Structure 1
Amino acid sequence: MSEQPIIIRRKKKAAKGHHGGAWKIAFADFMTALMALFLVLWVLSNAGKGDKEAIAQYFSTPLLVALAHGDKSSASTSAIPGGGTDPNVSQGERVRKPPRSSRLSSEERRHLQALKQRLEDAVERDPKLRELKQQIAIELSPEGLRVQLLDTDKRPMFELGSAKVAPYMSQLLRTFAPVLNELRNRIQISGHTDSHPYAGGEATYSNWELSADRAKASRQELVAGGLDPDKLLRVSGMSDRIRLRGAGPYDAANRRIEIIVLDSQVAQRILDQDEYGIQAPPGSDHEPVSAPAQTPQ
């Protein structure tokens, strides 16, 4: 009888792979970063006030400004310009954008609308002034209440080619004066002409001088009628540079006096000269400047 062979099966144990020590590198990096953090905290705790401000300024400087070696003191603290409650102001850079056309506040509009009605009533009460209704245009504008006194060929407000006020124009201005005193708003007056060239040309007496003289003559009539002189903010001559809406260059209606009862915010911007970031020099007098003019009518 033959003997069967005995078979012994032995399982081979797989050898464990070597980890390579990668965790040691990660741990070393972590410890290095931690030590750097503690070092920075220790330096900051021992830094003076000036050093801390310099460090804060360094980190608040936008990257583009730093790369271009820009002015850190005037740079914005934000990478995104603007922000804040006022969209016209860019925080940090302190740049004021030119404001858009302002709108009258509801209270200001109400006061100016009431003033418009009182001016119209003053014209209606006087039979002589009532004849001038077609030459008087009163309307609200973004600057305030605009009163325009227009010429016609048949009934000019001034003598031909001069700043001598016609009698009915004088009466009209003196009637308006006490009514304009009712509000505290400042007033500006501008003279306008048509485009007919003045005899003698620009080198002598021109439309610039004529429109300025007519604006000043209107101011004198208003003050003579009782207008508070301190309410006047600006008196100027505009020549033929700003035509009446819808009028041709030689139309008589371009020869006009424009009185604006200014919105309080508009008046303040004129006083501050802040609309374009311009400020008057310290100690200088802010006086109205009369511009030149251009028309013989």
Structure 2
Amino acid sequence: MKTLNQAQPIIVRRIVKKGKPHGGAWKVAFADFAVAMMAFFLVLWLSQSATTEEKQAIAGYFEDPIGFTEGGSPSVIDLGGAVSIKVVDDPDSIPISQPEIKLEESQAQDIVDQVEQRKLRSLMNVILEQIERSPTLREYRDQLKLDITDEGLRIQIVDKQGRPMFDTGSAELKEYSREIINELAPTISRVDNKLVVSGHTDARPFPGFAGYSNWELSSDRANAARRALVEGGLPEDHISRVVGLASSSLYDSSEPFNPINRRITILVLNRRAALIMEDAEQVNPGEDQIVPAPVRVPPPVAKPDSVDSAAARSMDDIMQKLDERGVTREEPEQVPADAKPAPAKPAADNLVW
């Protein structure tokens, strides 16, 4: 039996944790959060201190990053290390200390082409929005094809099975086709670019009368589309050319008889394509070209008053031609009015030898 003075045993319990420690992962997460907060407050500070032009530059970058980088400085905000180009309407507002910027011709041409490309792309977006808003265009949006080519903005109005723009063999626009072109005309006229209107047919031969083929039919249809554009409000001087291409440029070359090949194309030319077309039309005669001789219209011949006057004029013409050829002629001897006639010579039989 234990006594009261006997020491009590001390029991120490040790808890052993077998799991791995957390480590420093939380430090990385906290650092990312701090960096994000710093970037957020930096954006707020820049938005507060930025000018209106710089805010427009930022907005332009986020709307079209590729076009913005190709069209100017890659820096969203000009920090003084790159050249910034600002277009002003009033030349008097340009600062005197503005440094002169010199660009090579190729660089200037690239800038102009990029601006032109952006303008045509903006026009295409406006037309696409118009198609969605307009009940007339929205109903036929599957027949409207828009794309950007090397020559400009191409708008194609194609036929559909059971819904053609023209009757077979006719160049008269159907009513809904006329409404489509009339609604597109005001939007296209927002830009001052030249237009080319072309008509296309499928590969099926024209079944009409002789001497009238798909070439004439496509030309007449293109001209009908031109009249509809002008009727819709497009200035007539915006149209540069109206052509008929028949089936030489098929939309679906794998199926030449496909109704989609029958279409009207409205091409909004860019600046480069318009200049090329103007240069092609202004052909100067050169050494290798045959210049036709001018057509000379003979003067009208008056009816002679008498036979004698006609004979006299004919004789004068003959004498003039002889003079031109260098033929000499003897003038008749002028006899004075009071001279006596010479005695007649005797005949040879009466002579005395």
* TM-score normalized by the length of structure 2: 0.48
Contact 1:189–1:257, Cα closer than 8 Å, also in 2? yes
Is 1:225 aligned to 2:229, yes or no?
Answer: no
Are 1:191 and 2:195 counterparts?
A: no
CA distance in 1, matches of 2:206, 2:232: 31
Task: State yes or no: 1:152 paired with 2:160.
Answer: yes
Change (3 A) 1:108 1:213: same
The residue identity in structure 1 corresponding to 2:277 is: I
Q: Do the aligned partners of 1:186 and 1:262 also contact (CA within 8 Å) in 2?
A: yes
Runs of 4 or more consecutive aligned structure 1 residues displaced over 3 Å after TM superposition: none
The residue identity in structure 2 corresponding to 1:230 is D
Match of 2:134 among 126, 134, 145: 126
How large is the Cα RMSD of the aligned pairs?
A: 2.5
Could you say if the C-alpha distance between residues 261 and 204 of structure 1 is closer, same or farther in structure 2, counting changes exceeding 3 Å? Answer: same
* Aligned-partner Cα distance in 2 for 1:233–1:253: 25
Per-residue deviation at 1:238?
0.2
Computing the radius of gyration over CA atoms, which structure comes out larger, 1 or 2?
Answer: 2
Q: Which residue in 2 is equivalent to 1:161?
A: 169
- The residue identity in structure 2 corresponding to 1:137 is K
- Residue of structure 1 equivalent to 2:184: 176
Number of residues paired by the alignment? 180
Superposed CA deviations along residues 251-279 of structure 1, whole A, max 9, x for unmatched, are: 100000011000111111111118xxx71
Q: Structure 2: how far apart are the matches of 1:248 and 1:255? A: 12
1:96-141 deviation digits (Å, cap 9, x = unpaired): xxxxxx9982111110011001111222122222111111100000
Q: Which runs of 5+ in 1 are unaligned?
A: 1-84, 88-101, 283-297
1:281, distance to aligned residue in structure 2 (A): 5.8
Distance in 2 between the 1:217 and 1:109 partners?
A: 29
> Which structure 2 residues correspond to residues 59-98 of structure 1 after superposition, within 5 A?
none
Instruction: Kindly provide the amino acid, as one letter, of the partner of residue 140 in structure 1.
Output: I
CA contact (8 A) 2:252 2:258 kept: no
Provide the C-alpha distance between the structure 1 equivalents of 2:285 and 2:228, rounded to a whole number of angstroms.
32
Distance in 2 separating the partners of 1:119 and 1:214:
23
| 2:142 maps to amino acid | Q
Mapped to 1, the partners of 2:256 and 2:111 lie a distance apart of: 30
What percent identity do the matched residue pairs reach?
Answer: 38
Distance in 1 (CA, whole Å) between partners of 2:222 and 2:148 is 21
Is 1:104–1:144's contact at 8 Å kept on the other side of the alignment?
Answer: no
How far 1:177 sits from its partner (Å)? 0.6
Q: Which residue of 2 aligns with 1:213?
A: 220
| TM-aligned CA distance change 1:226 to 1:243, over 3 Å | same
Distance in 2 between residues matched to 1:171 and 1:214, nearest whole Å:
15
What is the Cα deviation at residue 148 of structure 1?
A: 0.6
Distance 2:137 2:240 in 1: 27
| Matched residue SS, 2:237 | helix
Q: CA deviation at 1:181?
A: 0.9
Task: Please identify which structure carries the higher helix content.
Answer: 2
CA displacement 1:137-157 (0-9 Å, x = unmatched) = 000000000001000121101
> Residues 169-188 of structure 1, C-alpha deviation per residue, up to 9 Å, x if partnerless?
11110111111111111000
Conservation of the 8 A alpha-carbon contact between 1:273 and 1:280: no
Residue in structure 2 matched with residue 5 of structure 1 by the alignment: none
Does 2:249 match 1:242? yes
Following TM superposition, by how much is the alpha carbon of 1:246 offset from its aligned partner in structure 2, in angstroms?
Answer: 5.1
| Higher RCO, 1 vs 2 (CA within 8 Å, ≥6 residues apart) | 1
2:274 to 264, 267, 274: 267
Asked if structure 1 preserves the Cα contact closer than 8 Å seen for 2:188 and 2:234, the reply is yes
Partner secondary structure for residue 273 of structure 1: helix
- Partner SS for 2:179: helix
Contact in 1 for aligned 2:136/2:180 (Cα 8 Å) = no
Normalising by structure 1, we get a TM-score of: 0.57
